[in-house]
Amino acid sequence: MCFFPTPFSPFSLVIISSNSFSSAIVALENLAYCSDLLTIPLRIVTSLLSVWILTLFVKDKRVKLQIWDTAGQERFRTITSTYYRGADGIIMVYDITDKSSFEHINDWLSEVNKYSSEDTCKLLLGNKCDMEDNRDVSLTDVQRLSEVIEVPAMDVSAKTGHNIDKAFYSITEKLVSLKMESDHDVVDLRTISLQNTYNGIFCFNLLL
């Protein structure tokens, strides 16, 4: 008997990085050939941004991600701020071999917090962990920043694909959990509303 995971509403992910992180999606593409948990990413090129469509299977749900790579578009503040507003998740990527890229994180986070909603999921990725010998950003600094800004962090390699799937699954699982909690709360509110309505009708009938 075939099993078809329940479809889920698409989530929008925005990637913020000094350099394009598209090679990470290519790494996912390679992983897709040997995994039945994700589909091969589809790339859509716009005039300014690269958009990737990716489907993951998380918690028995078929989840579609719209991944917007804003790398190099910081000069278009009005454009990036628009994508922040509609984002369900934000992935901030720095280069572990370039401390200046790590120092951009607070600026990025300031923009994200300014335009995105409070419940937007965030993830901090240190790219190029395959070049550990050239590391310019200490793990201590990363851990300290992660705790201060309350955003989980992990090292990845867009070149080798190390932890790339884990990163996307991590933020997707968080998005799905939040969505399921939200849907559950809505159902509870509707149930309470219906109960109050029925109780009101019952009391009205007694008065009659």
- Digit-coded pLDDT (tens) for 107-143: 989 989 999 888 899 999 999 999 999 999 999 999 9
Alpha-carbon distances of 65 from 12, 87, 146, rounded to whole Å: 6, 11, 24
Q: Where are the domains of the chain?
A: 6-207
**pTM of structure:** 0.79
Whether the CA torsion 83, 85, 89, 92 is positive or negative: it is positive
**Residues 122 and 112: beta-carbon distance below 8 Å:** yes
What is the CA 118 to chain-centroid distance, rounded? 14
**What is 6-207's CATH superfamily?**
P-loop containing nucleotide triphosphate hydrolases (3.40.50.300)
Which residues are CB-neighbours of 193 under 8 A, at least 6 positions away? Answer: none
- Digit-coded pLDDT (tens) for 40-81: 666 665 556 678 888 888 878 888 888 888 765 555 555 567
Phi, psi of 55 (to 5 degrees): -115, 130
81 half-sphere exposure, CB direction, 13 A CA radius: 9
Cα separation of 127 and 129, whole Å? Answer: 6
pLDDT on residue 185: 47
Mean pLDDT, rounded, of the chain: 78
Cα separation of 58 and 53, whole Å? Answer: 16
